[in-house]
Structure 1
Amino acid sequence: MAKVAFLGLGVMGFPMAGHLRTRGGHDVVVYNRTPAKADAWVTKFGGASAPTPREAASGADFVFSCVGNDDDLREVANGPDGAFRGMQPGAVFIDNTTASATVARELHAAAKAAGIGFLDAPVSGGQAGAENGVLTVMVGGDEDDYAKAQPVIEAFARMVGHMGPSGAGQLTKMVNQIAIAGLVQGLSEGIHFARKAGLDVEKVIGVISKGAAQSWQMENRWKTMAEGRFEFGFAVDWMRKDLGICLAQANETGARLPVTALVDQFYADVQAMGGRRWDTSALIARLDGVGGKD
């Protein structure tokens, strides 16, 4: 059993912290910007809450974070009341936020200067993966920090991989989001085409999902896409944030992402249709004319 802090109790962080407590058996202290969520977590899982990241991290062996963006991460990690101020030498900070590789490297350097470890460890699997404890975790950072943290991370993960030095976890997550964007658009067009062609979508998916077209998105999203249900899952707003990170990184490195840039604009259309909080599979709504679009 380790002493663990978890910062950020959104739709991902809340169950992830819960698995650290129940499945991992760790002593967990949580922090959330809105204290009511921290109180709700303690009521459900036990453990304790703290009013600041610094106090939550005090004496912890491992500190996890899952917050909104680069600036949120900087604040909870290295702000005036950030976790770095309360962490003991040798402790490891594990960030599960999807953020930039730049902020990962920045905080890695700051952590090293403070005598602590830092791992960028974004996750894939969505809210369902977090709730079921089967996330995929892509980790960047020093090998010795990874070796210490991996058994703890496994409390909420099905797959944990060390991808390389600081920033490599975030870069791998970018690859993940680039691939998903193209897959969801392709699946949207396929289902849209099948309906226009007068095919039985369920029969079509039943056959092609057993061949080369199969994907997680097809297996888990085709039915709700065909039914026009999107009030769940990974929000379009979050995907646009992630794709913005991908496109900014591509500009820095000279990578060419024409399909990703196009799908990002399609998601902007979905936002304009009122679908900011719809699941990312809502790309099909743009094709089907929901909200007045053709």
Structure 2
Amino acid sequence: MSSINPRTYESTPSQTVAFLGLGVMGGPMAGHLAKAGHKVTVYNRTPAKAEAWVAEFGAPGRHAATPREAAAGADIVFSCVGNDDDLRAVVLGPNGAFAGMKKGSVLVDHTTASADVARELSNAAASTGLQFIDAPVSGGQAGAQNGALTVMCGGDKASFERVKPVMDAFARAVTLLGASGAGQLAKMVNQIAIAGLVQGLSEAIAFGQRAGLDMKLVLEVIGKGAAQSWQMDNRGKTMIDGKFDYGFAVDWMRKDLGLVLDEAKRNGARLPVTALVDQFYADVQQAGGRRWDTSSLIIRLK
């Protein structure tokens, strides 16, 4: 069974690209690039994942042993790894992507990372004649599989315009929000909004259940009014059923909220609700829910 779902791709000139990191997000994203007609070479820290990707999407020999080898000759290099340190590991150093990229090529990073590392890598790229775009995504695994991600970008406008048509293969919206780091900061805004919303939805459902209401019927009703949200539409019923294996894991959300809270310390933003929800997610981790999706906040209230 394919790891991506069929979709219609815009007609764009074929590019030679590399993709570094083939996890639950990167694998499908790279798959959409291949299906859209781009020449894709992949790298993954675990070679078996790269071999499996090639078996599904590519020709023999289209996976590389190092990021440097994958990036050699590419017009655009994409990355999607775990955190700041993972990103530095695949980009910098003698075997990193920057060491293999040709002058004028662009590295587009889809990792949810810090704004600081985005600026660091942007400066490192510029010093060697390369370009860097920070481009974290929203939409989760389903968005990656469906080619319907929202991409928030920071970097040089000319470089962005060059890579945007290629990113359209796995996205429904790709937007430049400012200079380097702006994409990561926008993703932090996204996670702040989600954290408070999921907690509010959890409290609403738990309250309604305590009151003896048919909460699936209640959500159908209030979902037609001002309380409607993506979380209510897509996670409300599964929260009522106590099913939490549908999306973005609690461990990943805590990583993201850690980035948010660190940035807030630097810029002076006050985030009392976000800090509280982060601790609530720590409770879920302690209850064994590290890999449950973020809607599992409701278990604290039952």
TM-score by length of 2: 0.94
Given the alignment, which residue of 107, 116, 124 partners 2:130?
116
Equivalent position amino acid for 1:127 in 2: Q
Q: Does 1:175 align with 2:163?
A: no
Q: Deviations over 1:24-77 (max 9, x none)?
A: 210000000000000010011114100000000000000000000000001101
Aligned to 2:208: 194
Structure 1 unaligned spans of 5+: 289-294
> Secondary structure at 1:90's aligned position in 2?
coil
Q: Distance in 2 between matches of 1:200 and 1:227?
A: 12
Aligned to 2:94: 80
Given the alignment, which residue of 14, 19, 27 partners 2:27?
14
Percent identity between matched residues is: 70
Given the alignment, which residue of 227, 235, 256 partners 2:241?
227
Given the alignment, which residue of 135, 138, 141 partners 1:127?
141
Aligned to 2:10: none
Q: Distance in 1 between matches of 2:301 and 2:25?
A: 29
Moved over 6 A (4+): none
Q: Distance in 2 between matches of 1:243 and 1:149?
A: 28
Aligned to 1:69: 83
Structure 2 unaligned spans of 5+: 1-13
Equivalent position amino acid for 2:186 in 1: T
Q: Deviations over 1:232-278 (max 9, x none)?
A: 31100000000000000000000000000000000000000000000
Aligned to 1:160: 174
Aligned to 1:291: none
Tell me the number of residue pairs that the alignment of Structure 1 and Structure 2 aligns. Answer: 287
Q: Deviations over 1:117-160 (max 9, x none)?
A: 10000000000000000000000000011010100111000011
Q: Deviations over 1:154-203 (max 9, x none)?
A: 10000110000000000000000000000000010111111100111111
Equivalent position amino acid for 1:86 in 2: G
Comparing both structures, which one devotes a greater share of its residues to helix?
1
Please report the RMSD computed on the Cα atoms of aligned residues, expressed in angstroms: 0.6
Q: Distance in 2 between matches of 1:145 and 1:277?
A: 36
Q: Does 1:263 align with 2:295?
A: no
Q: Distance in 1 between matches of 2:229 and 2:75?
A: 38
Q: Offset of 1:105 from its aligned partner?
A: 0.1
Aligned to 2:39: 27
TM-score by length of 1: 0.97
